[in-house]
């Protein structure tokens, strides 16, 4: 029992502790709550695996709930794609839920909060509300509408619901504490007017609940026992609990806990940057096999089992880290080795003629489908006088350590005969167009003859020209040739695109593949794992390279780390998530002399190129004594706004306003730079 406890991750420990404290195992229920505003990517598989994995571990139901409270960004297309991805991964949800199903209940609860004096209608602009929120060192000031009568608030809220007001005219705020050190607790917004059609409710509503008000209450309605979120939601936990306190009776009370997100090397995980790849035509869409989306991985040939194994191997952590993408590739390689049928294909063909093989003769040879699977059986493949082999499998002259075909030496053709190179035919440019050889008729594989048992060091794959089927072969590789493509100073992540991430060639495959269906998976012997792309038709086969037989990047990676003595240190630093670099800078920023502080500021500006705004928001509420963190957050925020040509939202304006009013000169200066630029 002790050993079993040691193997539990921290989330499982939380569940185990609740059970030991008397919680009924039948009351366990988890959920995965995506917002339907885009496609899922490899980063989401961790959250999916955690929730559904706990469901499997404890034999507990898991809800799939769509947090669809923003009709401006959400579409049914995304709902359908998310459901397809989760089902493909092999997970089954108990209930399919939508936050929009709870709009009436949320409205009714808001009415009760207004009656209890715990919510009110605020008629200020977003800028005015932000200006009154205070700073991390000073409390906020109450809205002039905070003490409206219950009757007036109820009347205004009812009229908001009826559509009498324009967007921005009113909002509903919780009445909590404008002096709370957690900025999210200072009378947060609960409702806003948004006159846009919803993908499920149509035009039934023109007011929509905010995420923080909706999330915990949706968990409560669904009897979720453990609400698991990524780390950026940790500052929201206090508000999550406050909202629950207002409605909680004697039912299951959800418990929010946070885990670290999944970060992957050689990969861009930002939706914004992935969208740029699509919009700039770098990739052919969200399901391009080079994209880290689940649909892209599926199209490339990744298996659900391999992705689930990857998530299991990565495990659950409390702190951010970067996982090498080679682990993901290893997982799919290991899975396909057990399941994929072996076939023969030639992707860079050169003609090979067996001069002593009878013209017009053909024979069918037996070939094992998968040596890792005894039940996979065998198939017959055609053999004839003229074959295709890989061009790289032949050299006119070769050293002793070259074990492929060369003149005067023998190799075995896989599942066939031993051949010996005799001569070549070249074109006018000196390129080899044909290799001529002889074969030993008694050396057929599996025949049991002494000749067939003769030991030769090389074995080549091949296809019979007479029977071969031409196919489009798409050779995919990593989209970026740098471990952290968005981590370099003064360089755009697009500069690190791998020019060889896609090569499209015509190859030849054995005739048995003519009936292959989209997403069927194979091992092209000696080449790698491939699957049939959905672009395939009855007339044209299209194959995608999933992954090679071995990790060729392992040899490339060290060379880039040994160019100078400083390189290893730089690479180690790049493995640290950008937001962590910013946090670390905050711990020492105010203690440095001016020259070193400017150097550190440069690093902060570089790190800001790699973050999403959601990563910065939790830092807005940093304690007053941690002024260094507030300064570097301000610097990073300004860089983010400029780099992405976006305007500051309400939370950002609130944070900057507080910075302008702070007593620390460095913080005031940085905040004023942004305030002047955006008229805050």
**Which pTM was predicted?**
0.76
Has 106 been labeled as part of a binding site?
no
What average pLDDT does this structure show over 273-279? 89
Lowest mean pLDDT of 118-122, 277-281, 468-472, name the range: 277-281
pLDDT value, residue 615 = 76
Is 67 assigned to a binding site? yes
Q: Judging by DSSP bridges, how do beta strands 322-323 and 263-264 pair with one another?
A: parallel
Active-site residue 351, yes or no? Answer: no
510 labeled part of a ligand binding site: no
CA distance 557 to 577: 20
The pLDDT assigned to 568 comes to 34
Catalytic hit among 271, 420, 584, 626: 271
Coil, strand or helix at 32: strand
Higher pLDDT, 425 or 490: 425
- pLDDT for 82 beyond 90: yes
Report whether pLDDT(28) > 50.
yes
Please indicate if the annotation marks 12 as binding a ligand. no
Predicted confidence (pLDDT) at residue 213 exceeds the cutoff of 50: yes
Contact of 476 with 262, CB cutoff 8 Å: no
More confident residue, 271 or 357: 357
The per-residue pLDDT for range 610-661, each reduced to its tens digit, is: 887 767 877 887 877 789 999 999 999 999 888 877 788 777 888 899 898 8
Which of the pair, 345 or 486, is modelled with greater confidence?
345
Q: Residue written as tokens 């090397």?
A: 265
Q: Is the pLDDT of residue 65 over 70?
A: yes
Catalytic status, residue 626: no
Examine the residue annotation and report whether 35 is marked as an active-site residue of this protein.
yes
What pLDDT was estimated at residue 271?
A: 77
Provide the pLDDT for residue 315. Answer: 85
Confidence of residue 324 (pLDDT cuts 50, 70, 90): confident
270 is in an annotated binding site: yes
Q: Is the pLDDT of residue 250 over 80?
A: no
Residue 584 CA: distances (Å) to CA of 120, 605, 663: 40, 14, 22
Percent of the chain with pLDDT over 90: 70
φ/ψ bin of 301: left (φ > 0), alpha (ψ from -120 to 50), beta (otherwise): left
Is 8 annotated as ligand-binding?
A: no
Q: What is the pLDDT of residues 546-566, one digit of tens each?
A: 999 887 665 555 433 333 333
143 annotated as a binding-site residue = no
Whole-number pLDDT of residue 1: 35
In whole angstroms, how far apart are CA 216 and each of 74, 219, 502? Answer: 20, 5, 44
pLDDT-wise least confident of 119-128, 190-199, 309-318, 328-337 = 309-318
pLDDT reported for residue 596: 84
DSSP code for 229: E
Two tokens, residue 459: 């074995």
**Range picked from 155-164, 367-376, 604-613, 619-628 for highest mean pLDDT:** 155-164
User: Which of 308, 355, 353, 298 minimizes the C-alpha distance to 328?
Assistant: 308
The catalytically annotated residue of 35, 127, 650, 672 is 35
On the question of pLDDT at 188 being above 60, the answer is yes
pLDDT, residue 251, reads 76
- Catalytic option among 65, 175, 261, 583: 261
């Amino acid at each position: 029992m002790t050993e079993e406890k040691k193997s539990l991750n921290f989330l499982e420990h939380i569940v185990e502790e609740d059970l030991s404290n008397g919680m009924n195992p039948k009351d366990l229920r988890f959920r995965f709550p995506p917002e339907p505003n885009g496609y899922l990517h490899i980063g989401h598989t961790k959250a999916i695996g955690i929730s559904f994995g706990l469901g499997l571990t404890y034999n507990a139901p898991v809800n799939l709930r769509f947090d669809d409270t923003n009709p401006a960004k959400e579409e049914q297309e995304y709902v359908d794609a998310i459901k397809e991805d989760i089902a493909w991964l092999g997970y089954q949800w108990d209930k399919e839920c939508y936050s929009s199903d709870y709009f009436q209940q949320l409205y009714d609860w808001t009415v009760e909060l207004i009656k209890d004096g715990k919510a009110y209608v605020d008629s200020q602009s977003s800028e005015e509300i932000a200006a009154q929120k205070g700073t991390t060192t000073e409390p906020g000031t109450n809205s002039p509408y905070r003490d409206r009568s219950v009757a007036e608030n109820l009347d205004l809220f009812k009229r908001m619901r009826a559509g009498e007001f324009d967007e921005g005219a009113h909002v509903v705020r919780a009445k909590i504490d404008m002096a709370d050190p957690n900025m999210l607790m200072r009378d947060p917004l609960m409702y806003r007017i948004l006159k846009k059609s919803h993908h499920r409710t149509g035009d039934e509503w023109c007011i929509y609940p905010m995420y923080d008000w909706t999330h915990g209450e949706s968990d409560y309605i669904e009897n979720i026992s453990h609400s698991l979120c990524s780390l950026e939601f940790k500052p929201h936990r206090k508000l999550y609990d406050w909202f629950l306190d207002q409605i909680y009776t004697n039912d299951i009370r959800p418990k929010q806990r946070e885990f670290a997100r999944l970060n992957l090397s050689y990969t861009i995980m930002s939706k914004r940057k992935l969208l740029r790849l699509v919009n700039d035509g770098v990739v052919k869409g969200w399901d391009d096999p080079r994209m880290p989306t689940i649909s892209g991985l599926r199209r490339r040939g990744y298996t659900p089992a391999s992705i689930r194994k990857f998530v299991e191997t990565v495990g659950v952590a409390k702190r951010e880290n970067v996982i090498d993408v080679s682990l993901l590739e290893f997982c799919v390689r290991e899975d396909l080795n057990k399941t994929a049928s072996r076939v023969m294909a030639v992707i860079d063909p050169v003609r090979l003629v067996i001069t002593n093989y009878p013209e017009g003769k053909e024979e069918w040879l037996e070939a094992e489908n998968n040596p890792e699977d005894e039940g996979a059986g065998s198939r017959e493949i055609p053999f004839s006088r003229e074959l295709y082999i890989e061009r790289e499998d032949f050299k006119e002259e070769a050293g002793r350590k070259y074990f492929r075909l060369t003149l005067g030496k023998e190799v075995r053709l896989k599942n066939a005969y031993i051949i010996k190179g005799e001569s070549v035919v070249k074109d006018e440019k000196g390129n080899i167009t044909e290799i001529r050889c002889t074969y030993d008729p008694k050396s057929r594989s599996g025949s049991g003859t002494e000749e067939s048992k003769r030991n030769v060091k090389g074995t080549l794959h091949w296809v019979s020209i007479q029977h071969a089927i031409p196919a489009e072969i798409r050779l995919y590789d990593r989209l970026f040739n740098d471990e952290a493509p968005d981590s370099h100073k003064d360089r755009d992540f697009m500069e690190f695109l791998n020019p060889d991430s896609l090569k499209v060639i015509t190859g030849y495959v054995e005739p048995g593949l003519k009936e292959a269906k989209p997403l069927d998976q194979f091992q092209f012997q000696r080449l790698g794992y491939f699957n049939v792309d959905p672009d395939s038709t009855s007339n044209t086969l299209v194959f995608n390279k999933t992954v090679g037989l071995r990790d060729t990047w392992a040899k490339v990676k060290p060379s880039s780390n040994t160019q100078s003595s400083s390189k290893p240190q730089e690479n180690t630093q790049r493995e640290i998530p950008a937001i962590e670099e910013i946090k670390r800078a905050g711990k020492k920023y105010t203690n440095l002399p001016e020259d070193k502080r400017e150097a550190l500021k440069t690093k902060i500006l570089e790190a800001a190129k790699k973050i999403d705004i959601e990563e910065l928001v939790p830092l807005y509420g940093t304690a007053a004594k941690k002024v260094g963190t507030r300064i570097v957050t301000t610097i990073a925020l300004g860089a983010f706004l400029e780099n992405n040509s976006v305007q500051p939202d309400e939370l950002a304006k609130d944070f900057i306003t507080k910075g302008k009013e702070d007593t620390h000169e460095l913080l005031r200066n940085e905040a004023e730079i942004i305030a002047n630029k955006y008229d805050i």
